[in-house]
A and B are shown apart, each in its own frame.
Chain A
Amino acid sequence: MEVGLKMGFEETELRLGLPGGGDGGEVVRKRGFSETVDLKLKLSSKHGGSGIDLSEEKKMTGLNKEKNLLLSATDPAKPPAKAQVVGWPPVRSFRKNILAAATQKSGSSDESGGEKAAFLKVSMDGAPYLRKVDLRMYTSYHQLSDALAKMFSSFTIGNCGSQGVKDFMNESKLMDLLNGSDYVPTYEDKDGDWMLVGDVPWEMFVESCKRLRIMKGTEAIGLAPKAVEKCKKRG
């Protein structure tokens, strides 16, 4: 079952002139995510196209795809953008975050220093507990959406229920959850406002996102106008 972000904002392209450039500056599409980014949360593992194909997984002999890419990169001239393997190197989260702040400070000149932790809480309406993600592990909305789908798919594969009770492949439960409502990823930004994920360029999102919430589509409707206003404010 496909879950998508239902918003008709493709027409409201905002044009941002780049500093120093004229009107011929690049169009930064704030609503163009449906072209560049596929934010559909595919909550069922049966659906093809998302997640790792199980037969493929077998071939990986315990190492996942990203690690193979990492290890087989041979071109010395172009250091590969390191796909981050979970758990490696064995550095604790609070150390990772501090260093990220430091390197940002010393690296780019116009980033505001003193970043807060990149580990963010992700909640999903109806799920029994929170999860956490490190946004710096991903380089695009697509990767994030994949990761979120994997993280929360276990809730909808029918394993929901009170402690210890497992409903395997309970179709009706699955339908209850997804019935009539799409799941929409939203986030709370630095100002405390709830925004729709996908509104802004990835880097800006990573900067400003404080926590994530995957809410039922019906609840997300009220967010749209806020998001537009915010963008207007930012110009």
Chain B
Amino acid sequence: MQKKTTYSFPDEVLEHVCSFIQSDKDRNSVSMVCKSWYEVERWCRRKVFVGNCYAISPRMVIRRFPEIRSIELKGKPHFADFNLVPDGWGGYVLPWIVEMAEAYPWLEEIRLKRMVVTDESLELVAKSFKNLEVLVLFSCEGFSTDGLAAIAGSCKNLRELDLRDSEVDDLSGHWLNHFPETYSSLVSLNISCLGSDEVSFSALECLVGRCPNLRSLLLNREVPLDKISNILRRAPQLVEFGTGIYAAELHPDVFSNLAGAFSSCKELRSLSGFWDAVPAYIPAIYSVCSGLTSLNLSYATIQNPDLTKLVSHCPSLQRLLVLDYIEDNGLEALASSCKGLQELRVFPSDPFGAEPNVSLTERGLVAVSLGCPKLQSVLYFCRQMSNAALVTIAQNRPNLTRFRLCIIDPKMADYQTLKPLDVGFGAIVEHCKDLRRLSLSGLLTDRVFEFIGRYAKKLEMLSLAFAGETDMGLHHVLSGCESLQKLEIMDCPFGDKALLENAAKLETMRSLWMSSCLVSLGACKTLGQKMPRLNVEVIDEKGPPDSRPESHPVAKLYIYRSVAGPRLDMPPFVWTMNEDSV
């Protein structure tokens, strides 16, 4: 008989080891080794990420992880950014705050994305979490400066307040005054989304002046150019700075003040803001350009040659966000000056114009792909593309991890051959083996999806519009993309067959969005009834889908895995296809 030897060490040791494991994936793996490891891990987990706030209930999270100090929640589907999700859809944070207020009094970090955050929620946060250090509201909405005042007034340990891209009701600029005189721990403040005309400059200057650890300050558009110098002089240690409106009449005094203020900031590595920038004041930042690693000019209306000149001054650039005013020439210059570039985003200056207003084509992107060996992440809006260009990009930049191409006119073919862009995107997925995120555009048949299913094994997020011909397209993606987490589709001729055949796949993904496709109500009901761990939600603003025949395609469909069952806060235009409710 063999003697069984049990190897074990005290829980404390395992806990200590665990504390070095930060990655969620690894933590999850640890918890699945055995029951005792599961127990140890759950007691020492400090950080939790909930990618879909409806996938699980706050109670369940709290029950499993009683000692959380940091939480990140995401609400609305990504396409909400483009107004495809009607207001009132959901994503309310209040129920989470209510539960966590009781369970996690020592909570230090709250990060929310695309959630509805009310002043009531913020007031509850301020009241309940005395140790709060980080509050990030990324693309959130539903709150006003009153809620911010509550946070400012109560959170004595606040280090980071980041409101990026949120929609805030500006009731008064005086919320800044609610930071007590004794408060000095601010490290990062992003108020770039605020619109109020009444930003209290004196309060801002005072705040900046008494926070010696301030590293990141992103101002809102309303802060005029001539106020920047005062702020910069009070915070020469800034690493990241966002200006307000970067336009004013040229006064030599203002200019030299500004230039001087910038030059005193020896640590500055990232600049943004530059709303309505005028060329006259751009040289004021030249002294810091050589050290800049990140530059966001996507609100700057400057054009060539000033724009290209500026970019050429920044050889250390790793990240550039810019409007298509940079044009192909500017991108070629970028390719030769910024050899360390990792991320490029080119936004359209006139997305709804019928005619191109700038000379930006596939040429610019090809130039950057050839010239910048470290390029990993691309977001590019343009008006023409060719398979040849895409193949060149793919072959030269196999290290791409994010590739989002938006050819502005739907269903544009290869402008040289008039063929679909299947082969070009096929090359991207074939060569870029670590590709995690892909957005397609242009004329695409089912063939591109064959390539994607075959090659895009690491792909986690795929965005489609006006693409494909039959259900086979969707089938290739769902059956082939092993790592797929998020799939969002608009205006593609995909219907019931592929969806129902790959129903099981949907449980392995975070979510699927389909709008203006061909999925019938009947199929949605079938899916909802057969798959209890999926929430199948039909969004229809015209009235109950039941008032139309089962074969009728639904307007919008959002399917996500959930262990919490169908949600209880659906507005009148969202219907669940769950068995009990249908």
Contacts and interface: CB of A to CB of B under 8 A. Distances in A.
A89 B165 contact: no
B568 interface: yes
B553 interface: yes
B8 interface: no
B544 A168 contact: yes
Interface in B526-571: 541-544, 548, 552-553, 568-571
A154 B518 contact: no
A164 B568 contact: yes
A98 B491 CA distance: 27
Nearest to A91: B351
Contacts of B81: 90, 92
B572 A155 contact: yes
B9 interface: no
A62 B553 contact: yes
A62 B517 contact: yes
Nearest to B89: A129
B56 interface: no
Of residues A62, A71, A131, A159, which shows the largest number of chain B Cβ atoms within 10 Å of its Cβ?
A62
B249 interface: no
A57 to B, nearest CB: 8
A160 interface: yes
A71 B573 contact: no
Nearest to B515: A87
A87 B82 contact: yes
Contacts of B351: 89, 91, 96, 99
A6 interface: no
B572 A154 contact: yes
B573 A154 contact: yes
A99 B350 contact: yes
B556 to A, nearest CB: 10
B105 to A, nearest CB: 29
B299 A98 contact: yes
A128 B569 CA distance: 13
Nearest to A165: B572
Contacts of B354: 79-82
A150 B543 CA distance: 10
Contacts of B411: 71
Interface in B483-517: 490-493, 515-517
B48 to A, nearest CB: 27
A153 B544 CA distance: 12
Interface in A30-89: 45, 51, 54, 58, 61-64, 67, 70-71, 79-82, 84-89
A102 interface: yes
A103 B408 contact: no
A157 interface: yes
A155 B542 CA distance: 10
A159 B406 contact: no
B308 interface: no
Contact of A91 (B82, B548, B552): B82
B542 A95 contact: no
A130 interface: yes
B352 A82 contact: yes
A10 B350 CA distance: 39
A134 B351 CA distance: 15
B516 A98 contact: no
Interface string A140-156: 00000000001101110
B381 interface: yes
Given A91-B82, A102-B301, A163 B573 contact: no
Contacts of A101: 276
A15 interface: no
Contacts of A51: 542
A98 B350 CA distance: 10
Contacts of A87: 79, 82-84, 465, 490, 515
B355 A164 contact: no
B580 interface: no
B410 interface: yes
Contact of A157 (B381, B408, B543, B568): B543
Contacts of A226: none
Given A62-B553, A71-B411, A91 B348 contact: yes
Nearest to A167: B572
A4 to B, nearest CB: 22
Contacts of B449: none
A134 B466 CA distance: 23
Contact of A150 (B193, B195, B541, B548): B541
Contacts of A61: 493, 518
6 closest Cβ pairs, A-B complex: A159-B572, A79-B354, A87-B82, A87-B84, A129-B88, A102-B301
17 contacts: A51-B542, A58-B553, A62-B492, A82-B354, A86-B83, A87-B84, A89-B351, A89-B408, A90-B463, A92-B165, A99-B348, A131-B88, A136-B352, A151-B541, A153-B543, A159-B543, A159-B544
Given A61-B518, A98-B275, 5 more contacts: A63-B491, A88-B82, A89-B406, A92-B165, A129-B88
Interface of B: 79, 81-84, 86-88, 165, 193, 195, 275-276, 298-299, 301, 323, 347-355, 381, 406, 408, 410-411, 439, 463, 465-466, 490-493, 515-518, 541-544, 548, 552-553, 568-573
